[in-house]
Amino acid sequence: MDLASLTLLVDIIDAGNLSQAARKLKMTRANVSYHLHQLEKSVGVQLVRRTTRRVEPTELGLRLYAHGRSIHNELLAARETITTLGQGLQGRVGLSVPSGYGQMVVSDWLIDFKRLYPGIVLDVRFENRVDDLIRDEVDIAMRVLPEPPDALVARDLGQVRYLACASQGFAQQHGLPTTLEQLRTMPLITSAVVGRQLRLRAYRGGTREEVTLEPTLISEHFPFLHQGILAGLGIGLVPDYVVQDQITTGEVLTMLDDYRLSIFGTRMYLLTMPNRHQTRAVRTCIDFLLGRALPAP
């Protein structure tokens, strides 16, 4: 078994299947499969279990992966040391941020980051997918989740507070609900839901309530939801950062304030892979984002 074979095993397990590994390595799937077979033949045991869609490491495969990942990370660190010697901070950082939080909060942070570190390339994706969060091109993901995935390193960025809110004009014309059930008869504005229905969970004291609603204005583009709320098109069920400025000025009113509302989760997490090498650029970006999300008292 040589270093190239061990690195191949790392790439296969990281990719999750042979086809993805082949694309990353710019090889044919058959070639990747052949080299994996030769590695397994040389050690005399099966290293991964193959299905039609994924590969799962065996116990020995997982142990070899840990050694291979450690060696791979050390090689990357040595290469970075050589290539950046005597230069300013450089490198590439791939980020995946929620569309709404990214558009209305994180985008300003990243502009400031680029001003501080012009040599770092930022590759930013505004997306809400929760499956396969950390892919090869993504070093850092930020997500609102009930609980972070066990397989990832999660840093808690704090609570995300959902509000029921409406414009002054809507309130004057339609009135504001005082119970969760009354939301069923109101036009509702919120982010993308599965199918037509939205399951809104509400907590008050030690009790939990849930109501199923059918929003009338749905979008993942939070600035558009913001416009709809200000235009008086309905009651917004959105995170507080969407309308915070208008609440301060009195242009937007909140309701059901004695409830803690939850749609997709109530906490924001910064997520990274546990075994992937983090360049100086990635570590610097993580520290910067943590500093903005969790400022010192």
DSSP secondary structure letters along 112-179:
HHHHH-TTEEEEEEE----TT-S-TT-SEEEEEESS--TTSEEEEEEE--EEEEEEHHHHHHH---SS
CB 7 within 8 A of CB 68: yes
Contacts of 259 (CB under 8 A, 6+ apart): 180, 202, 203, 204, 209
CB 18 within 8 A of CB 36: yes
Largest CA distance in the chain: 77
Indicate if the pLDDT at residue 127 is higher than 90.
no
CA atoms within 13 A on the CB side of 114: 12
Average pLDDT over residues 187-213: 85
pLDDT at residue 194, rounded to an integer: 60
Please give the Cα distance from 39 to 1 (Å, whole number).
7
Weakest mean pLDDT among 102-116, 161-175, 260-274: 260-274
Instruction: Give me the helix-helix angle, 280-293 and 107-116, nearest 10°.
Output: 130
Residue carrying the six token digits 């917004």: 236
Angle value at C-alpha 108, between 103 and 114, nearest 5 degrees? 120
Strand partners of residue 201: 210, 262
Per-residue pLDDT band at 9 (split at 50, 70, 90): confident
Average pLDDT over residues 171-187: 93
Indicate if the pLDDT at residue 296 is higher than 70.
no
Indicate if the pLDDT at residue 86 is higher than 60.
no
pLDDT at residue 159, rounded to an integer: 86
Please give the Cα distance from 129 to 96 (Å, whole number).
9
Please give the Cα distance from 139 to 105 (Å, whole number).
19
Q: Among residues of the chain, what percentage have pLDDT more than 90?
A: 41
Indicate if the pLDDT at residue 180 is higher than 60.
yes
Of 292, 266, 275, 212, the residue nearest 71 (C-alpha): 275
Indicate if the pLDDT at residue 81 is higher than 70.
no
Indicate if the pLDDT at residue 217 is higher than 80.
yes
Pairing mode, if any, of strands 120-126 and 91-97? parallel
Helix (H) / strand (E) containing 225: helix 222-230
Average pLDDT over residues 32-57: 83
- Residue with the bigger pLDDT between 138 and 136: it is 138
Average pLDDT over residues 24-30: 85
Strand partners of residue 124: 95
Q: Among residues of the chain, what percentage have pLDDT more than 70?
A: 90
What spatial distance separates the first Cα and last Cα of the chain, rounded to whole Å?
53
- Residue with the bigger pLDDT between 205 and 165: it is 165
- Residue with the bigger pLDDT between 223 and 132: it is 223
Burial of 90 (0-12, 13-18, 19+ CB in 10 A): middle
Weakest mean pLDDT among 70-79, 100-109, 275-284: 70-79
Average pLDDT over residues 110-128: 92
Q: Which amino acid is at 160?
A: V
pLDDT at residue 130, rounded to an integer: 61
Residue carrying the six token digits 């992937």: 276
Per-residue pLDDT band at 193 (split at 50, 70, 90): low
Angle value at C-alpha 7, between 26 and 41, nearest 5 degrees? 100
pLDDT at residue 106, rounded to an integer: 94
- Residue with the bigger pLDDT between 166 and 44: it is 166
- Residue with the bigger pLDDT between 58 and 246: it is 246
Average pLDDT over residues 25-39: 85
- The mean of the pLDDT values for the chain is 85
